[in-house]
Amino acid sequence: MTDTAPFLEIEDLKVFFPTSDGLVRATDGLSYTLEKGRTLGIVGESGSGKSVSSSAILGLHRGSNAQVSGRITLDGVDLLAISDNEMRRKRGSEVAMIFQDPLSAMHPYYTVGNQIAEAYLVHNSASKKEARTRTIEMLDRVGIPQPDRRVDDYPHQFSGGMRQRAMIAMALINDPTLLIADEPTTALDVTVQAQILDLLVDLQRDFDTAIILITHDLGVVAEMSHDVLVMYGGRAVEYGTAKEILSHPEMPYTWGLLSSVPDVARDTSLPLVPIPGNPPSLLNPPSGCHFHPRCPHKDKVPGGLCSTTTPELTPGSRGTNHLKRCHLTNPDEVFAEEVAPEIGLEVGA
């Protein structure tokens, strides 16, 4: 720990959506930090609040009926407190986002090059010619072959992987200090996925970008992230360094995620086991621990505590670099004896 404030600090972030059925608590008290040059992997099943919480950083809930509270401090500035104009200036320059589906982020009627150049011109006083030169440079940087020709192509003339590269070029053209990548490779085949992830690592090394990488795939997290935040039902349920979380997970939900992904240092001859049951309702979440209705280990906790009392996110048995939201008092033993052998995972040092 240092005396200086973290580069990005999220404190008790809540994003609630009023609906005719009641209040949807999509993000319910989320806190984390991220430093420049580091990647935080946010994982969790669909609907756990990954996108909603991250969109709040870019102010994307402004102008909607969402109720957003808490604090989001980026480089000392509280992003929830600044004006819409200031937020617009930061969006696309200081903070940028890439999505799963580049087609939805790119207009079909404009060339790829025009759209990337436009992203540059919005934030810089440059001529069209300078913007085009810079666009070609970025296309080259993200690995588009013959960028001086492809710059005039339309999005549909690019393959899925190339479109994702182009979107990364557009996101990075103004050297943002924070990049939010929301399932950036989910729609791509495995080879292209690996190339795109490599590209992000390269760019991070060159530009010292802080990256929030949202994925439901722990394999991707294992490859890319320095820190990991596991979300369930709008809350963090486990948080720590990737090494810690992946080798000594202490939350049964994380164990479930580990047994449902193909390649996190596990014995791949063993079957993948999806987590039984459904994600919790965010309108009427389960009492106690949100995960208890699906948790195969709740009977190890005496007094039915899991169904009555919400566990806090607290340091587990391995210290303050590893937080978990679970009542189990001996998760390391349960994991080593019951879970790790079943999923063929070696318990790390």
Of 151 and 236, the one with the shorter C-beta distance to Mg ion is 236
Choosing among Mg ion, ligand ADP, none, which partner's interface includes residue 24 (Cβ < 5 to 8 Å by kind)?
ligand ADP
In the complex with ligand ADP, the residue whose CB is nearer, 74 or 230, is 230
Cβ-based neighbours of 329, under 8 Å, separated by 6 or more: 301
Structure tokens at 28: 């319910």
Question: Which is nearer to Mg ion, 9 or 101 (by Cβ)?
Answer: 101
* # chain residues binding ligand ADP, by CB under 6 A: 13
**C-alpha–C-alpha distance, residues 183 and 102, integer Å:** 11
Q: Strand 227-232 and strand 235-241: pairing?
A: antiparallel
**Span from 1-9, 47-55, 130-138, 325-333 in contact with ligand ADP (CB under 6 A):** 47-55
Among residues 50 and 150, whose Cβ is nearest to Mg ion? Answer: 50
Binding-site string for ligand ADP from residue 237 to residue 276, where x marks contact by CB under 6 A and - marks none: ----------------------------------------
Task: Give CA separation, 254 vs 103, 245, 281, in Å.
Answer: 32, 8, 19
Angle at 101 between CA 96 and CA 105, to 5 degrees: 55
Q: How far apart are CA 29 and CA 31, in angstroms?
A: 7
Q: CA 292, 297, 301: angle at the middle one, nearest 5?
A: 85
The answer to the question of residue 176 lying near ligand ADP (CB under 6 A) is no
Write out the H or E segment, with its range, that includes residue 255. Answer: helix 252-259
Please identify, among the stretches 46-54, 204-212, 316-324, 333-341, the one whose residues bind ligand ADP according to the rule CB under 6 A.
46-54
Q: Mask: binding to Mg ion, 23-62, rule CB under 5 A, as x and -?
A: ---------------------------xx-----------
- 212 contributes a contact to ligand ADP by CB under 6 A: no
Residue 328 CB, shortest distance to Mg ion, in Å, is: 28
- Rule CB under 6 A: choose which of 41, 49, 59, 331 binds ligand ADP: 49
Which of 229/343 has CB closer to Mg ion?
229
- First-to-last alpha carbon distance for the chain, in angstroms, is 23
Instruction: Say whether residue 56 binds ligand ADP (CB under 6 A).
Output: no
Q: Give the residue at shortest CB distance from Mg ion.
A: 51
Lateral strand order in the sheet of 8-19: 22-34, 8-19, 67-74, 77-78
**Among residues 95 and 112, whose Cβ is nearest to Mg ion?**
95
Residue 228 interacts with ligand ADP (CB under 6 A)?
no
Tell me the C-alpha distance between 61 and 261, whole Å. Answer: 32
DSSP calls for 96-109: EEE-S-HHHHS-TT
The reply to whether 50 sits near ligand ADP by the rule CB under 6 A is yes
- Pairwise CA distance, residues 233 & 37, whole Å: 29
- Binding of ligand ADP by 278 (CB under 6 A): no
Q: In angstroms, what is the C-alpha Rg of the chain?
A: 21
Which of 24, 57, 68, 221: binder of ligand ADP (CB under 6 A)?
Answer: 24
Give the nearer residue to ligand ADP in terms of CB position, either 158 or 253: 253
**Contact assessment for residue 131 and residue 113, using Cβ atoms and an 8 Å cutoff:** no
CB neighbours of residue 239 within 10 Å: 25
Which residues are near Mg ion by CB under 5 A? 50-51
Binding site for ligand ADP (CB under 6 A): 17, 19, 24, 26, 44, 46-52, 282
